Amino acid sequence: MNPEPQQPGLQTTVPISFRRRGGKAVIVLPDGSRAVGAPSMVIDNTMIKLIARAHRWQQLLLQGVYASIEELAEAETINPSYVSRVMRLSCLAPSITEAIMEGQHPAHLTAKELLAPFPLAWAAQQEHFKLG
């Protein structure tokens, strides 16, 4: 008995990536959209917690509970540079914050992207995060 020679297989390349959104894997196309019809809301608890933490820390500083970011970081036992990156989120445009809270943000927007430097002007943020 002589086995048939194997034919080279066909290979198809599809430019997609898999990302975690709200604890679930999502297929993201190169343009940042979801490949599979997503539910109307995809809540990302990580981003919501970061925004809430940013506003809470900002209030603690404004109320004088802590005199500096370093003092706040020490009290929270967190690195001061992380506190600074998270606190920037208190400057997000209201429309971006609302989109994240309602789960209407684009699939490409992640907590990691939120913590990276972004412009302070709200219109520039819309363009930076590709929301407008």
Q: Please give the Cα distance from 73 to 71 (Å, whole number).
A: 5
Predicted pLDDT at 3: 60
State the pLDDT confidence band at 112, using cuts at 50, 70 and 90: very high
Residue 72: how many other CB atoms lie within 10 Å: 20
Q: Is the pLDDT of residue 40 over 60?
A: no
What is the residue-wise DSSP string for 97-129? Answer: HHHHHTT-S-TT--HHHHHS---SSHHHHHHHT
- Per-residue pLDDT tens over the stretch 64-75: 999 999 999 999
- Per-residue pLDDT tens over the stretch 82-108: 999 999 999 999 999 999 998 888 888
Q: Is the pLDDT of residue 33 over 80?
A: no
Cα-based distances in Å from 30 to 15, 17, 44:
6, 8, 20
Mean pLDDT (whole number) for 121-125: 95
Burial (0-12, 13-18, 19+ Cβ within 10 Å), 69: middle
Q: Please give the residue that has the higher pLDDT: either 41 or 68.
A: 68
